[in-house]
Structure 1
Amino acid sequence: MTELTDRRRELLTRLLARKAAATAIPPVPRTGEPLECSHEQRRIWLAAQATPDAAPPNVTLGLALTGELDLHRLSVARTALVSRHEALRTRYTAVDGLPHQVIRPVQPVPLELLDLTGLPEEEALRLARAAAGERFDLERGPLLRLTVYRLGPREHRLFLACHHIAGDGGSVALMAAELAALYSGADLPPPPSVQYADYAAWSLARAAERVPGRLPYWRDRLAGIEPLFPRVPPARGGSATAVVRAGREVVDGLRGGGPVTPFAALLAAYLVLLHRLSGRGDLVVGTVTSGRARRELEPVAGCFINLVPLRVRVPDGFPALLARVREAVAGALAAEIPFDALVSGLGGHRLPGVHPSFQAAFVHRDDPEPPPGWTGLSARVWEHEVDDASFDLGLTATPRGGEYELALTGRLARFTPAELADHARTLLAILHAPDA
């Protein structure tokens, strides 16, 4: 009986291995020729070519490091980090009007050190905010910058900035964790066997299968939408951000004790704000999803986020709105396709100064945590604020301990800083009394 059981277990193991091999992301031959970009990369590249201000902002992370920082060790760790991830040493070139990836060999990567000894920390913060908005050269690279601001012998601020085509929020968190491990001499697993170029080819093939069947949903769902706000010049005035904070218990109160996520509750409150600002009851808000659903993609650096439009007609009463938000989210996720395929599939002309499909966005982020393992150093997340002018108005919700940080970012061509501050306070009032 034991022998038979062992035999069945062996057969089952082989069957599972075959199934995993059949569904695994296959490697793409590295011949030196340009490789196709993913839909995510295409969207970012095309936006950068057409209207630089409409391209997604750089992805950033700041860390406060206290202790004796070894700059040489940090520089070596950065070079080792880039060698582990092809996306960090990839350049982009146009082939027949579309971007393609060119993976480069590993090169030593210098650090930028700015000595601010004797100056207040606010100066480092000001410089980091300015650095966050600096553009990268996609054809030449590099697409990752590390800057160290020295405030004193034992106080440094480490600032990572990555072009969105090479990474997303999850990627930057991964980079920070691996950088800490490499700096500390910890053993890391071998570089991922699946790299971003492999994902790009696989995801293009998957999208080709899915888009034809799912596009009719979006044509019906987004039919007849109108701009939320009047048009303004696309590259005028930059942006500003107003921040308010709400306790987690306030957000939990919005959920009404039902099967409603904080994402849905905060999005519903944001829709109430947009309804009041625009006077419209038929609203389209964009949000982001992550394509890291597969385990082999968890250790891979690259851009996996997709833009998804959510159309909601605002009813009377917040509970009814919550139900419609849940329905809209479920339908959009079930029919999700790459955003650039959605835009091209819908046809029509993009209005100058108006983001295709939506002008308002909502992003719910994870609580940032400093990576452990900085030998001889203590690390914490260094607060900094990066404005995003990709949309006329955007809300970013970030849980931090026992409260939510709500950052309302608007284009200055549309809103003054004082108006944004007023709107942020209105949002806070809506959170406390959504039906008022």
Structure 2
Amino acid sequence: MQILLKKLFQSNVNIEVIDGKLDIKAPVGVITEDILNEIKFYKKDLIDFFSRYKGDSEYIGIPKAPESESYPLTASQRRLWIMSQLEGGSLAYNMPGAVTLKGNIDTDKFEESFRLLINRHEILRTYFKADNKGDIRQYIIPGEQLDFKISSEDFSFAENQQEAIAKYIEKRNQEIFDLEQAPLIRASLLKLKEQEYVFFLSMHHIIGDGWSMELLVSEVVEA
């Protein structure tokens, strides 16, 4: 959430809590769809934060979040991290999504579009590990240091295509994420026939939720 607070502060956005709800005041055009989705993601944490520091005034500005090597976890991230460790990286926190794509797809350009998407969203470059004090922190790897590739598979000659694809997706979704290794997201482009594909995406719940999965799929498809 520190990263979001920094963005909002630099954009002259102010937030207050009124009757338990966020009230946002911002210059016209500042609240983009991406920022709005981040606010939705951290809504509960923002309400808790600004409620604690509200004081006597009904209005409070956003404090500046300084540049840092790492950032504290949100309450929900800490819960997910602990539960993942206790349950041995439970597969229950893998979030899969798939969409059918039609048209002539250049796989290299498609992969590059996804890399650009990852560069735009810091949360997709975030990983989690203990610092030298033993506290779990979130770190953001620079985009140029991230090694990410989309797996490409051709199912156009499979005898039972739908069953083969279903088994492939199930197998990929059974792979456990290492929370200390970014990105906590995987993608596959599965060829059904000429100009028809299935795009499969899986991410760990600690970096997103249902709406962010839908957002990512739509951004890649529209790229």
- Shorter chain as normaliser: what TM range? 0.5 to 0.7
**Given residue 29 of structure 1, which amino acid in structure 2 is its aligned partner?**
P
| Contact 1:111-1:146 within 8 A present in 2 as well | yes
Structure 2: which 5+ residue stretches go unaligned?
A: 1-12, 17-24, 27-58
CA deviations over 1:61-98 (Å, ceiling 9, x no partner): 10011221221221111011111111100111114444
Question: How far is 1:23 from its partner?
Answer: 4.8
- Establish whether residue 121 from structure 1 lines up as the match of residue 162 from structure 2: yes
Q: Secondary structure at the match of 1:109?
A: coil
Separation in 2, partners of 1:172, 1:76: 19
Q: Measure how far apart 1:53 and its partner are.
A: 5.8
1:54 CA drift (Å): 4.8
Q: TM-score, normalised by structure 1?
A: 0.35
Task: Tell me if the contact between 1:44 and 1:55 (Cα under 8 Å) persists in the aligned partners.
Answer: no
Alignment counterpart, residue 151 of structure 1, candidates 192, 208, 218: 192
How far did 1:132 drift?
Answer: 1.5
Tell me which amino acid in the other structure corresponds to 2:85: Q
Q: Distance in 1 between matches of 2:126 and 2:152?
A: 24
From 85, 95, 100, the counterpart of 2:137: 100
Distance verdict in 2 for CA 1:18–1:64, change over 3 Å: closer
Structure 2 CA distance for aligned equivalents of residues 17 and 139 of structure 1: 33
Tell me which structure has the larger Cα radius of gyration.
Answer: 1
The answer to whether the 8 Å contact 1:132/1:161 transfers is: yes
Divergent runs of 4+, >4 A: 16-19, 21-27
* 1:316-355 correspondence runs (5 A): none
Hey, what does 2:78 align to over in structure 1?
A: 42
What is the aligned length? 166
Aligned residue identity for 1:121: Q
Identity score, percent: 29
Compared CA separation, residues 51 and 75, structure 1 to 2 (3 A) = same
CA, structure 1 residues 114+23, in 2 after alignment: closer, same or farther (shift >3 Å)? farther
Aligned: 1:160 with 2:201: yes
Structure 1 residues 108 and 93, CA, compared in 2 at 3 Å: closer, same or farther? closer
**1:198-213 correspondence to structure 2 within 5 Å:** none
- 1:64 corresponds to which residue? 100
Structure 2 counterpart of 1:75: 111
Contact 1:66–1:156 under 8 Å retained in 2: yes
Residues 47 and 55, structure 1, Cα contact 8 Å, conserved in 2: no
Quote the RMSD (CA, aligned, Å): 2.4
Q: 1:43 to 1:17 in 2, by over 3 A?
A: closer
Could you tell me which residue of structure 2 aligns to residue 207 of structure 1? none
Asked whether 1:111 is paired with 2:150, we answer: yes
Unaligned runs of 5+ in 1: 1-15, 184-436
